[in-house]
């Protein structure tokens, strides 16, 4: 918009000049008028705004870079957490398997204890029966001795 006031890359504000000196004076008064209406200041403000826009653009680029790094970090953390979750799932499955194994062992131990109690009961029953047999044998042995003694005493 302000480029029409620039002279091909020189950056000075000029108007077309004729060979006429009146126009030259008019040109000087136009430059003074331009300064009075603030064109130079406006162009300075525009330059500062361009710098500000460049700075904001740089800030946006930096923010995008930071966001990209953050997204990458979050993705890496997500992968790590998924791996940990899988490991924990495996640990949980292992614990469940071990609990089932312990439960099976407890059941087997209980069966063995029951069988041991049965065996103990059978042993007690057989011991009582053997004691009964032993008493019978002792009684019979006593009778046989008495008979022998009475025979021996009769023979004497």
**What is the per-residue pLDDT across 27-62, written as a single tens digit (0 to 9) for each?**
555 555 555 677 888 899 999 999 999 999 999 999
Residue 75 and residue 101 in one domain? yes
Does the pLDDT value for residue 21 go beyond 60?
A: no
What is the C-alpha to C-alpha distance for residues 52 and 133, in angstroms, rounded to an integer? 118
Residue 58 and residue 122 in one domain? yes
What is the C-alpha to C-alpha distance for residues 125 and 119, in angstroms, rounded to an integer? 10
Residue 54 and residue 124 in one domain? yes
Residue 15 φ then ψ, to 5°:
-115, 170
Residue 33 and residue 89 in one domain? no
Range of the domain at 100: 38-155
Sign, Cα dihedral of 84, 89, 90, 94: positive
Helix, strand, coil shares of the chain, percent, nearest 5, are 90, 0, 10
Total count of domains within the chain: 2
Residue 51 and residue 121 in one domain? yes
Q: pTM of the prediction?
A: 0.45
Nearest to 137 by CA among 46, 145, 82, 66: 145
Residue 126 and residue 105 in one domain? yes
pLDDT tens per residue, range 60-83 = 999 999 999 999 999 999 999 999
pLDDT at 149: 84
Residue 84 and residue 142 in one domain? yes
Residue 47 and residue 10 in one domain? no
């Amino acid at each position: 918009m302000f480029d029409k006031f620039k002279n091909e890359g020189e950056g000075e504000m000029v108007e077309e000049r004729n060979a006429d000196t009146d126009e030259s004076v008019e040109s000087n008064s136009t430059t003074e008028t331009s300064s009075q209406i603030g064109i130079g200041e406006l162009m300075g403000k525009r330059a500062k705004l361009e710098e500000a826009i460049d700075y904001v653009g740089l800030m946006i680029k930096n923010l995008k870079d930071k966001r990209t790094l953050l997204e990458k970090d979050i993705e890496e953390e997500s992968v790590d957490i998924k791996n940990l979750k899988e490991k924990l799932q495996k640990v949980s499955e292992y614990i469940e398997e071990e609990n089932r194994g312990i439960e099976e062992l407890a059941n087997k131990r209980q069966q063995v204890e029951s069988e041991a109690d049965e065996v103990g009961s059978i042993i007690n029953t057989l011991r009582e029966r053997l004691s009964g047999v032993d008493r019978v044998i002792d009684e019979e042995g006593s009778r046989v001795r008495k008979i022998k003694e009475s025979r021996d005493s009769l023979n004497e």
